Structure 1
Amino acid sequence: MKRPGDVRIGISGWRYKPWRGTFYPEGLRQADELAYASTTFDTIEINGTFYSLQRPEYFAAWAAQTPAGFVFSVKGPRYLTHLRRLKEPEKPLANFLASGVLELREKLGPFLWQFPPNFKFDASRLEAFFALLPHDTDAAQAVARGHDAKLKGRSAIPTQKRRRLHHAIEIRHDSFRTPEFIELLRQYDIALVCADTVDWPRLMDVTGEFMYLRLHGSEELYASGYDDKALNAWADRVAAWASGAEPADAERVIDKPAKRRKGRDVFVYFDNDIKVRAPFDAQGLRRRVAERLGQPAGK
């Protein structure tokens, strides 16, 4: 039997007041919430990096608070994707990579780059950005050294063993439903985020070495939960991708499936946090995927 890829199912962010006393035990210190969440899930998205540059000591602390084998995905800054809209991205990208993100070391997983709903497909602008994205830690260090004076005294570019880096793109405009976009992602080995939401395109084309899913709530954005039927459907899809195949109901821009492989890593994050559904839906999906792959449920 072919070995499936690694499947990591977690949550988007970890600091939410409504979770206290529901997912988090009563009396748990806020400072201990990440450590608690990382004993339940083996991956979490860092959202704070989207809103502002963080500090090296924050990344180092997050890495120290989580167990061996844990992986963060890191959201790229909105300054680059939403405010500058990928125009002249060199310095913002360098500043982001120099801000300490490499302090996560072996716990650094995929980078998530999210575009705003009014950002339309622009092949030349996207390709210029894709060409800058580093695909290993050596390349990331080289890019980071180009940071500007804004990071004076608060940058960190630690030397470390060379490791692969991965990127995923989340789109929110229908103009991206074009084969040209899918082929561009494949050319640069970048994963297309499969985003489950009522408001934005839900595409399942396989474009990189791994799959990246964000489940926002398909009935009410950031709020609606997933019932048994929905979780079962997503478990079937995740198990298919992990096994190197594609789901029977895959919604693709290019109808032809990608070349089958032995196994494919899959990252899944629940972002339906408003009604305290995310951590419990993530646990439910993890159990179902483990059953389909014949594996222990894990954490």
Structure 2
Amino acid sequence: MQHATQVPLVPEASAVPVRERIYIGTCSWAEKTFVKSGFYPPSVRTAQDRLRYYATQFPTVEIDASYFALLPSAYSRRWAEETPPGFVMHAKAFGLFTGHAASVERLPPGFASLLPPGLRETREVRVADVPEEFLNACWDRFREFLAPLASAGKLGYVLFQLPPGAKYSPETLEAMRGWKRELSGCRIAIEFRHRDWSRHPDALEFLAREGLIYVMVDFPDLPRLMPVVEAATADWAVIRFHGRNRDGWDRAGATTEQRYDYDYAVDELRPWTDAVERLSERAGRLFAMFNNHARGNMAKNARAFQGLLEGA
């Protein structure tokens, strides 16, 4: 007779990194298609149990919900309490900060009142349009969200992902300095998505001078997307695997799920093992994070990559 999987209130230990310094994980634990993919045993039904179970499988995870909304600190406090010692949680920066549109409907109570009357009735706002008082309140709320994880020693990097169309500019570099000032004491990771950044070597030099983490990306080989540039600009290194679904990324109107619907073959992951070995020698920690969430592929591929590294 099969017994239901029992998830302890708090796992005694996190899943362990590879060789102490190489952490492999996924870019969400609660994304809806991932939850339905079969990664979680049937008995793991609640949000709390899913995070606890996840922490027994991988030593690290990204919080993607913090990109879409300014989450309350009660969430991060609970996650810090429910995960074992050594578990590392990274937070994706609120999209408004990086030039993405932010939903007015999803703002915390009272925040819309800080917007000019004309913006309160719109669906979305962007950083260039909002008053300083509103932006400062957003930063305060985001810092409050990060604080419980930082206090518990479980906060990893804070990911600032630039919009796909954002090209190199001195103004964007200056914005990065501002993000660093707003989150003093946090490790800031920067993800370029437009290929134009690869044509400006001084961009990586800037990250190194500022102590900002350069995020390497694995994308389809398309003219507008950032290519693989192997580099470590800080004491941590980060690789994010987005999948190589050319049609999904190249087709106008493709949904997010269609873009990230990709299952890496082992032979596509294998060349990364040498890069990880080199990078882990230069950086104190390396995080390989899988974001191809459709149909549970990110967990499947993360496990396959871990197997490659353990067998190397």
Alignment TM class, shorter chain as reference: 0.7 to 0.9
Q: 1:165 aligns with which of 186, 197, 205?
A: 186
TM-score by length of 1: 0.75
Shift of 1:173: 1.5
In the alignment, the residues of structure 2 paired with residue 90 and residue 121 of structure 1 have an alpha-carbon distance, to the nearest angstrom, of: 23
TM-score by length of 2: 0.72
- My pick for the range that moved more, 226-235 or 96-105, is 96-105
Contact 1:90 1:132 in 2 (8 A): no
Secondary structure (helix, strand or coil) at the match of 1:288 reads: helix
Q: Per-residue CA shift, 1:154-197, capped at 9, x if unaligned?
A: xxxxxxxxxx5311111111221201211111110111111111
The aligned residue for residue 201 of structure 1 is: 226
Question: Judging changes above 3 Å, is the alpha-carbon distance between structure 1 residues 29 and 39 closer, same or farther for their aligned structure 2 residues?
Answer: same
- My pick for the range that moved more, 97-106 or 210-219, is 97-106
Question: Judging changes above 3 Å, is the alpha-carbon distance between structure 1 residues 285 and 44 closer, same or farther for their aligned structure 2 residues?
Answer: same
Residue 140 (structure 2) pairs with residue 95 (structure 1)? yes
Paired residues in the alignment total 245
Shift of 1:210: 1.7
Q: 1:14 aligns with which of 29, 32, 35?
A: 29
Shift of 1:90: 6.5
In the alignment, the residues of structure 2 paired with residue 76 and residue 132 of structure 1 have an alpha-carbon distance, to the nearest angstrom, of: 10
Q: Percent identity, aligned pairs only?
A: 27
Contact 2:66 2:93 in 1 (8 A): yes
Residue 164 (structure 2) pairs with residue 117 (structure 1)? yes
Secondary structure (helix, strand or coil) at the match of 2:233 reads: coil
Higher helix share: 2
C-alpha RMSD of matched pairs (Å): 2.4
The aligned residue for residue 300 of structure 2 is: 280
Shift of 1:85: 5.5
The equivalences for 1:169-248 within 5 A come to: 169-177=190-198, 178-198=200-220, 199=222, 200-202=225-227, 203-220=229-246, 221-244=259-282
Contact 1:80 1:92 in 2 (8 A): no
In the alignment, the residues of structure 2 paired with residue 186 and residue 16 of structure 1 have an alpha-carbon distance, to the nearest angstrom, of: 33
Secondary structure (helix, strand or coil) at the match of 1:269 reads: strand
Shift of 1:286: 1.4
Question: Judging changes above 3 Å, is the alpha-carbon distance between structure 1 residues 191 and 204 closer, same or farther for their aligned structure 2 residues?
Answer: same
In the alignment, the residues of structure 2 paired with residue 93 and residue 196 of structure 1 have an alpha-carbon distance, to the nearest angstrom, of: 31
Secondary structure (helix, strand or coil) at the match of 1:195 reads: strand
Q: Per-residue CA shift, 1:110-160, capped at 9, x if unaligned?
A: 0100011121212134224324415xxxx84xx7xxxxxxxxxxxxxxxxx
Structure 1 unpaired stretches of 5+: 144-163, 245-262, 293-299
In the alignment, the residues of structure 2 paired with residue 47 and residue 191 of structure 1 have an alpha-carbon distance, to the nearest angstrom, of: 18
The equivalences for 1:54-133 within 5 A come to: 54-81=71-98, 82-83=100-101, 84=126, 91=136, 94-104=139-149, 105=151, 106-133=153-180
Q: Per-residue CA shift, 1:45-72, capped at 9, x if unaligned?
A: 0001000100011000111111110000
Structure 2 unpaired stretches of 5+: 1-18, 102-125, 247-258
Shift of 1:276: 1.5
In the alignment, the residues of structure 2 paired with residue 284 and residue 174 of structure 1 have an alpha-carbon distance, to the nearest angstrom, of: 28
